[in-house]
Amino acid sequence: MTPGEWIFIAVMATTLAGSLAAVLSGSLIYALFGLVTAMFGIAGIYIYLNAPFLAMMQILIYVGAISILIAFAVMLAGPMYLRPKEWTSPKKFVAALAVVLLSLLVLVGIIMGSFRAASGAKPLIVTTQELGRVFLDKLTLPFELISLLIVVSIIGAIMLALFSKERK
């Protein structure tokens, strides 16, 4: 095997180990660090696919911002070292069923989809400039829609904060 393949395997193993730790760990804080490991693994995949900008954004946003916010939420959420008491509730079975169905759907989509055609070709090298140009040229509508989504969530957060103040 080439060194590149070994690196790919290492990156995949990191991602998988991290996600397994995130799902299976009983302690919230360990689950969080598992999630962080998985995010790092995904950033590694981006680097492997010749997209350094995306990889750095992955670390900056998911490791640097989202996971820190999750940590904040965990710390505000009371006794976090206690495991939840009930392990089998009907809700969990429904959730598990939904997750399995969704993953099957995604898997079928990947296998049937057009990804396979590109697997032999080398990944494109896209510079940051090109990426920016595409965002503000071809993909303006989705780009703006995403910012709309962020505005909605910010307004929602402000409303929540306002209402909880009134109740006091």
Partner 1 sequence: MVNDLLKLAGSDAGKMVIGLVGVLLFVVVNALLLTWAERKIAGHMQRRIGPKEVGPFGLIQPIADALKLLGKEILTPAKVDKPLYYLAPTLIFVPVLVSFIVIPFDASLQVADINVGILVILAFSSITILSILMAGWGSENKYSLIGAIRSVAQNIAYEIPMLLALLPVVMLANSLSLREIVEKQQGLWFVVIQPLAFIIYFIAGVAETNRTPFDLPEAESELVAGYHTEYSGMRFALFFLAEYTNIFIVSAIAATFFLGGYQGPVLPGIVWFLLKSYLLVFVIIWLRWTYPRVRFDQLLNFAWKGLIPLAFLNLLITGGLLKI
Does position 69 bind partner 1 by CB under 8 A? yes
Phi, psi angles (nearest 5°) of residue 145: -65, -40
Structure tokens at 149: 């989504």
Closer by beta carbon to partner 1, 106 or else 151: 151
How far, rounded to the nearest angstrom, does the alpha carbon of residue 17 sit from its chain's CA centroid?
15
Q: Are 126 and 55 in contact (CB under 8 A)?
A: no
Among 45, 49, 64, 126, indicate the residue that binds partner 1 (CB under 8 A).
64
Among 60, 105, 136, 159, indicate the residue that binds partner 1 (CB under 8 A).
60
Contact map string, positions 6 to 45, toward partner 1, x by CB under 8 A: -----------------------x---x--x---------
Minimum distance from residue 37 beta carbon to partner 1 (Å): 11
* 48: CB partners within 8 A, 6+ apart: 4, 7, 8, 11
